[in-house]
Amino acid sequence: MELKVQRRLSFNTLISYRKDVMDFRQFLLEHRGDDPTVESLGSLKIVDFRSWFSFRIGKGLIARSNSRALSAVRSFFNYLAKKNLIDLKVINSVRRPKLPALLPKPIAEESLLRFLDLDYFFDRDLDWINCRDRALYSLLYCCGLRINEALDIRTKDVGKEIRIVGKGKKDRIIMLLPLVFTRIRSYIISCPHNLNDGFLFVGVRGKRLHASYVDSRLRKLRLIHDLPDHASAHAFRHSFATHLIQHGADLRSVQELLGHESLSSTQIYTDLDDYSLLKVYERTHPLGKH
């Protein structure tokens, strides 16, 4: 409850944390030969945590997964420490696994624009389903939304501007381009369900769409319409940021549009296209004009 209410972690993160803590408990049961207690957790040494990481690496778990697992166990230890049941000295000395730099993978601008202008996505879909998907995909690319941010939008809140509640309950205002606003209105008009008092994007039964369903459809669409293998709902967000920067947008503006807490999260998009950077350099440097 503390992680959900005070730290405002997402449902998926809470599920992952619970699994990581239970896996740690199972490791200790096998590693030390008995079910861990508060007292035995307090007696753990740095070598025990190293053994735990070795065990996970032996199972093929990557650094990112191991880092998250350490965060989960640390959160559990912090909870016990607040109740004065355990000391944090040992676990706080455990180093987080070094994470490899993962660059976002955008979809090529030409491919994405061509995809958004298709007459249909699946030829057997009802017209309103096609309108819905075009509106959703256009919105993701237009505004760089996380998929759940888009799926949480309610119809009554749709206007030329929409208030989005992002990570950590942080609000931001997004502005809709006229084309995207028109596509959303066309979807609302064509939808057979009453959307007025509910979520904007719904399935065939009128219930809110789930992110897993959206990505499942995109996995099929990329085979049909020649999209890259990494095409996903989140790739639309990466594409939004990358294409804005390639066309000259400044980092601070993109940071605000994405809803990033820190500029460092946005800077990763400047590493994606050395060719575009070279072109800007050649076009703007005084010696490049000679």
| C-alpha span between 32 and 48 (Å, rounded) | 9
Catalytic-residue membership of 269 = yes
Q: Which of 122, 119, 168, 116 is nearest to 142 (CA)?
A: 116
Catalytic-residue membership of 230 = no
Q: How many CB atoms lie within 10 A of CB 278?
A: 10
Sign of CA dihedral 206, 212, 218, 220: negative
**Among the options 56, 132, 134, 146, which is catalytic?**
146
**Among the options 132, 217, 237, 243, which is catalytic?**
237
Catalytic-residue membership of 167 = yes
Close Cβ partners of 237 (under 8 Å, ≥ 6 residues apart)? 140, 144, 145, 146, 258
Catalytic-residue membership of 146 = yes
* CA atoms within 13 Å, Cβ hemisphere of 130: 13
**Among the options 132, 134, 183, 260, which is catalytic?**
260
| C-alpha span between 72 and 74 (Å, rounded) | 5
Give the tokens for residue 110: 């030409």
Dmax of the chain from CA atoms? 76
**Among the options 17, 137, 187, 269, which is catalytic?**
269
Torsion of CA 215, 221, 227, 229, to 10 degrees: 50
Phi, psi of 208 (to 5 degrees): -55, 135
Close Cβ partners of 84 (under 8 Å, ≥ 6 residues apart)? none
**Among the options 167, 172, 208, 225, which is catalytic?**
167
Residues that are catalytic: 146, 167, 234, 237, 260, 269
